[in-house]
Amino acid sequence: MIEGACHCGAVRWTYRGDPDSATACNCTVCRRYAALWAYDFQDERIGVSGRTGCYVRGESIGFHFCPVCGVLAYWRALAAGPDGRRRIAVNLRLAEPRATAAIAVKRVDWLEGSGPLPSDGRCVAAFWV
């Protein structure tokens, strides 16, 4: 299990198991947050706790941050999908570096709209500096 917390510790998440990959997105929001996302569904592999503020983008997604220290913890779909599950992604930058260092990073280009980019072989550890 991987655990993450905002800087002050008021907002926390857990990811049960190991994610297959992390996503580095360059959309207009994610590039500003500089987050590395690990996806699943709320209350399946991902659990979250603590009071958050939320920035709602469009009609489908809310970005949750700590109202005390301001750190972005996760995004969550505003509604469940047709299968009744709610998509969520946690910001792997909130975990201890050793817990996530070897996770492969997938890059996606949603700024220009081209979608997934070819792998460059980097893992989360390459994004710490």
Q: Would residue 129 count as lying in a domain?
A: no
Residue 14 scores a pLDDT above 90 = yes
Asked if 69 and 7 touch (Cβ cutoff 8 Å), the reply is: yes
Is 13 a member of any domain? yes
| Domain annotation covers residue 38 | yes
DSSP three-state, residue 53? strand
Give me the domain span that covers residue 29. Answer: 2-123
**Would 128 be classed as within a structural domain?**
no
Q: Exposed/middle/buried for 26, CB within 10 Å: 0-12, 13-18, 19+?
A: middle
| 72 within domain boundaries | yes
The encoded tokens of residue 67 equal 């109202």
Determine the Cα angle at 19 with ends 128 and 27, to 5°: 60
What's the total number of domains in the chain? Answer: 1
Tell me the CATH number at 101.
2.170.150.70
74-83: per-residue pLDDT in tens? Answer: 999 999 999 9
Cα gap 44→19, rounded to integer Å: 13
Q: What is the mean pLDDT of residues 93-116?
A: 88
Q: Is 61 among the domain residues?
A: yes
Instruction: Examine residue 14 and state whether it is found in any structural domain, yes or no.
Output: yes
H/E stretch holding 99 reads: helix 97-100
35 within a domain of the structure (yes/no): yes
* Stated pTM of the model: 0.91
